[in-house]
Structure 1
């Protein structure tokens, strides 16, 4: 596709995940930086009715939700090699970890950060079971190989890996040696470093203007 890529984001948001994915893809894109509050709740809601970032516009197509953006870009730019071929043996695990990040990990970490503990006798009512279940599953995932798909880096590492990195930084994910080692493996990628440099510079500029 030759249509313009536009990322709607804020450097202090989950938009950092989408920017990292765009840097991995390597396709040219333009970023629209939105402030929190009114800027996201006004005309921008025509792009994303939720009034949240990130959102990705590719020509006339709009994609929201970080996992969906990562999956979309991986399929739209297959030359980047960030998704296994449909029908391959790695396609199932690829989907598994993308959705594990968007479902159990997101919910468990958010609830933990808000101080909500699932009562033991109600754990079966919650999709993720317990916070410990999620942490143990994540630990198994990042120790089975160099990346979530073994020796192959994918969009699943961008998405779920970002959640692990943020969780370690802000204390919402347990500090386990396996998470630290995995985080170091993925955060040193050239695309991740470029994305961080861009967003960190935007944060510094915003702070100057405040």
Structure 2
């Protein structure tokens, strides 16, 4: 892999960007971190807003192009390293369900948990992107109950996305700590990639806090 082929991950510790970093570790993907100190507001400076006008992480740079949006990043990276076995091929019968549950995260789960966290009144069911919170979460619970992963016995990049997300949202009490969610998240958080990134994040976050102090 040439220098131009290496992936740059625009990153800040203990944010949703951790999921993308964990995925890169799982894929064995050569990458570099471009670390932003969000406590110092670096994500709102012009240099980064030229990368992502929303001022959010993660974003990745690869082959001269930028990819933002966590769902797009997960699909892109897993497809880029098919030999890691974390993505069904285009002609695989499980490709559709795989894409369904990755898209479900961004289109339904995130809007629902943000409304719940902010204690905002959701839109009427007919206008809501996720119907209602209980229905949204119930569909996910039903799928995960088939286990051990979203697609049964096969772990994919979708499980990295969801395992990290459920771990965080249960930690903050936005998602109830039901057995099916807790067991599922544990399968991801017990993996070495998650443990390595989490430990590195603790040190990086402390450095950022000290720099702002």
Q: Distance in 2 between matches of 1:198 and 1:130?
A: 37
Aligned to 2:194: 192
Among 73, 77, 82, which residue is 2:81 paired with? 77
Over 4 Å off, 4+ runs: none
| TM-score scaled by length of structure 1 | 0.93
> Does the 8 Å contact 2:43/2:49 carry over to 1?
yes
Q: Distance in 1 between matches of 2:115 and 2:122?
A: 9
Aligned to 2:36: 34
Q: Count residues with an aligned counterpart.
A: 208
Cα distance per residue 1:11-35 (max 9 Å; x no partner): 0311111111111111221111112
> Does the 8 Å contact 2:146/2:152 carry over to 1?
yes
Deviates most, 176-185 or 189-198:
189-198
Cα distance per residue 1:122-149 (max 9 Å; x no partner): 2121121111011111111211121001
Aligned to 1:123: 125
Aligned to 1:152: 154
Listed as ranges, the gaps of 5+ residues in structure 1 are none
Among 77, 87, 91, which residue is 1:87 paired with? 91
Cα distance per residue 1:85-119 (max 9 Å; x no partner): 11211101100110010111001000000101336
Q: In the TM superposition, what is the alpha-carbon distance from 1:161 to its structure 2 partner?
A: 2.0
Q: Secondary structure at the match of 1:125?
A: coil
> Does the 8 Å contact 1:135/1:174 carry over to 2?
no
Structure 1 residues 27 and 134: alpha-carbon distance in aligned structure 2, compared to 1, 3 A threshold: same
Q: Distance in 2 between matches of 1:84 and 1:107?
A: 26
Q: Distance in 2 between matches of 1:174 and 1:103?
A: 20
Among 5, 10, 13, which residue is 2:15 paired with? 13
| TM-score scaled by length of structure 2 | 0.92
> Does the 8 Å contact 2:37/2:208 carry over to 1?
no
RMSD: 1.5
